Amino acid sequence: MVVSYMVGSEELFKELKIDIRPGTLTLITGYEGMETYILSGIIAGLFPIEIDEFVEPLNEILKYFNGKLTVHSGWLPAGAVYVGRDPEKHILFSRVYEEIKMRSSKPDIVLDIMETLGMGEDFINRKISTLSGGEMMKLALSLALAKKSELYVLHGIFGWLDKTVKLQLTKILIQRMQSESGIVVIDEEYAHLLEFASKSYFFDGKDIHPDGQRELEQFRIKISNVIDDINALLEEREDKNNRKLVFRNVSFSYTSVDKERSSFSLKGASFNICNNRIYALIGRNGSGKSTVAKLICRVHRPDSGEILLNGRALVKYTREELVKEICYVGQFPEHQLVYSSTGEYKRAARKNRNEFSFNFLQRYFKESIPISLLSPYQMKVLLLLSNIWDSTELIILDEPTWGIGLSEKAEFYRILKEIVESLDGVSILIITHSSELLENLDCSVIEIENGVIREV
């Protein structure tokens, strides 16, 4: 198909040519931002929409939704099944069984797909708010894939899924292709799909390039080089005898915090994080990776056992001290960014006498931009730079490159490298599903499975 899309007087896309056919898989990767959302929405038939009246605070976002679409030629089904990056937007009800009952006339098929994706019957009665991000995505996918459609558009979903689920999902997609459905995957995690794709494109935010393998390879090399640099830098300084963080027999369950999540528990977890080293925390969806991060940041308190930071019990730290020693960048930066503009962050850094952070912010955010207008990549960078201190000893990155495009991934790691260079000694804990990232990192791996932690 060949399409153009006008937003006001601006030509957002000019004669984009994408080959989408029944029974084939089309892969689009590269840039990630508002333009990618619009592109996926156009392919899925969500855009344009008619808006009678604009609401002031939403103007900047809504104007992209009701542009003028011209289909010059080719196949664009009227109603595709669409699953986007944020599974919460696909969930309408409060509980898993309500969602299945109301959204599908074939609940058995939904349950089968859920089972295939690793969600057993024990999930049926769960409240949606108690599901982890990955579990919520699996539910959204099960509901979507249970429907028969000429075209399935999946945007940014693979970053949510662990390795086993990715393979299972790929199998389901192949089955759908065999039933003559077209599949479009827009994702920065694409390597495992390449062999099944009839076409792969590189999207740069404006144009789409057929057979963009060369561009992709260039970015891959760039990312790999920056990560190698970080590895080398830390290797020079590595001090295995200096234990920065110690988890000693830590047990935790949500029973005291949230009854509905009582099935999850961490059982006697023990591991160490040494000075100047990168660690990867891996595990299946809902295994408790983010809970470990929250325990380190003292959002939760262990039921038993202790956590030591630099040999001192975490409970003995004041919050002010913790803020200066641990930098946490969550998977969803918009949940963590509490000021309304980049300018306010700079002012806060000045007020807190955090010159280290201020100088970085000044360099990367010269103008004051409202948070609502930042791209996911800019939000991550802002969060990283605003939470960093010259005294930071541990950086926790929860799915650091989730939701950001390939070109921006390289830039994100370059900024991280700059930070590591400027600090005397720092350890990095990366929580990730990305096998690509794990292959690049020379790191110690900590795996969490069924509440048990082991160092791999």
Partner 1 sequence: MSLKDRLRRYNIWIKFLILISGGGIFFFLFPFLLKYRYFSYGIFIISLFVAGLFFTFLYGKRGLKVIFSLWGGGTIIYFVIVTLFILKGRQPLPYIELRKPELIFYYLSYPLRLLGVFFTGLIFMQIVSPTDFTGWGKLGLTIALIFRSFEFSIERLEMTRVALIMEGLWPDPYEKKSFLKSIKLFFKGSTILVATAFRNIILWFPWAWIVFNSIKREMGED
| Residue 313 in contact with partner 1, rule: CB under 8 A | no
Residues 99 and 330: their CA atoms lie apart, in Å, by 27
Choice from 371, 385, 397, 406 touching partner 1 (CB under 8 A):
371
Look at residues 189, 82, 231 and name the one whose alpha carbon lies nearest to residue 404: 189
Q: Which is nearer to partner 1, 324 or 417 (CB)?
A: 324
* 412's tokens: 């994100």
Q: Alpha helix (H) ranges present in 268-326?
A: 289-296, 319-325
Output the smallest distance, CB 118 to partner 1, in A. 24
Helical H segments across 251-393, by residue range: 289-296, 319-325, 333-336, 342-351, 355-364, 376-387
Contact call for residue 439 and partner 1 (CB under 8 A): no
From 86-94, 228-236, 408-416, 418-426, span contacting partner 1 (CB under 8 A): 86-94
Q: Are 312 and 267 in contact (CB under 8 A)?
A: no
Structure tokens, 385: 């730079």
Contacts for 403 with CB less than 8 Å, ≥ 6 apart: 32, 85, 156, 159, 331, 376, 377, 380
- For residues 237 and 232, what is the distance between their CA atoms, to the nearest angstrom? 9
Q: Which residues contact 219 (CB under 8 A, 6 or more apart)?
A: 406, 407, 409, 410
Which region, judged by CB under 8 A, interacts with partner 1, from 1-9, 53-61, 234-242, 274-282? Answer: 53-61
CB of 41 to partner 1, least distance (A): 7
Rounded Cα–Cα distance for residues 437 and 289 (Å): 17
What is the nearest approach in angstroms of partner 1 to the Cβ of residue 129?
5
Q: Does residue 337 touch partner 1 according to CB under 8 A?
A: yes
Q: Is 335 in the site for partner 1 (CB under 8 A)?
A: yes
Q: Based on CB atoms, which residue is closest to partner 1, 64 or 219?
A: 64
**Identity of the residue, 241 or 318, whose beta carbon is nearer to partner 1 in the bound complex:** 318
Where on the phi/psi map is residue 23: left (φ > 0), alpha (ψ -120 to 50), or beta? left
Q: Which residue lies nearer to partner 1 by CB, 28 or 81?
A: 81
Selected from 8, 15, 58, 422, the binder of partner 1 by CB under 8 A is 58
Shortest approach of partner 1 to residue 373 CB, angstroms? 10
Are residues 190 and 27 in contact, defined by beta-carbon separation less than 8 angstroms? yes
- Regarding 103 and contact with partner 1 (CB under 8 A), the answer is yes
**Paired residues of 273 in beta bridges:** 245
From the CB of 328, what's the least distance to partner 1, in Å? 6
| Tokens 């104007």 belong to residue | 63
Report strand pairing: 81-83 vs 239-253: unpaired
Q: For the CA atoms of 322, 326, 330, 334, what is the dihedral angle to 10 degrees?
A: 60
422's tokens: 């400027």
Q: Which stretch binds partner 1 (CB under 8 A): 1-9, 269-277, 326-334, 361-369?
A: 326-334
Among 339, 362, 414, 438, binds partner 1 (CB under 8 A): 339
Of the residues 71, 72, 74, 93, which one makes contact with partner 1 according to CB under 8 A: 93
- Rounded to a whole number of angstroms, the minimum distance from the CB of residue 247 to partner 1 is 17
User: Among the candidate windows 18-26, 38-46, 236-244, 414-422, which touches partner 1 by CB under 8 A?
Assistant: 38-46
Q: Which stretch binds partner 1 (CB under 8 A): 168-176, 183-191, 279-287, 321-329?
A: 321-329
Region near partner 1 per CB under 8 A, out of 83-91, 186-194, 214-222, 438-446: 83-91
Q: How far is the CB of 93 from partner 1 (least distance, A)?
A: 5
Residues 209-268 that bind partner 1 (CB under 8 A): 256-257, 259
Is residue 104 within the footprint of partner 1 (CB under 8 A)?
yes
The closest alpha carbon to 79, from 151, 29, 26, belongs to: 151
CB 298 within 8 A of CB 312: no
Residue in 19, 378, 432 with CA at minimum distance from that of residue 227: 432
Q: What is the largest CA-CA distance in the chain?
A: 66
57 binds partner 1 (CB under 8 A): yes
Minimum distance from residue 375 beta carbon to partner 1 (Å): 12
Under rule CB under 8 A, residue 41 binds partner 1? yes
Structure tokens at 184: 């479009």
Question: Cβ distance 376 to 404 under 8 Å?
Answer: yes
Note the residues at the interface with partner 1 (CB under 8 A): 37, 41, 44, 46-47, 49, 57-58, 61-62, 65, 79, 81-82, 84, 86, 88-95, 98, 101-105, 129, 147, 256-257, 259, 294, 297-299, 301, 315, 318-320, 322-323, 328, 330, 334-340, 371-372, 387
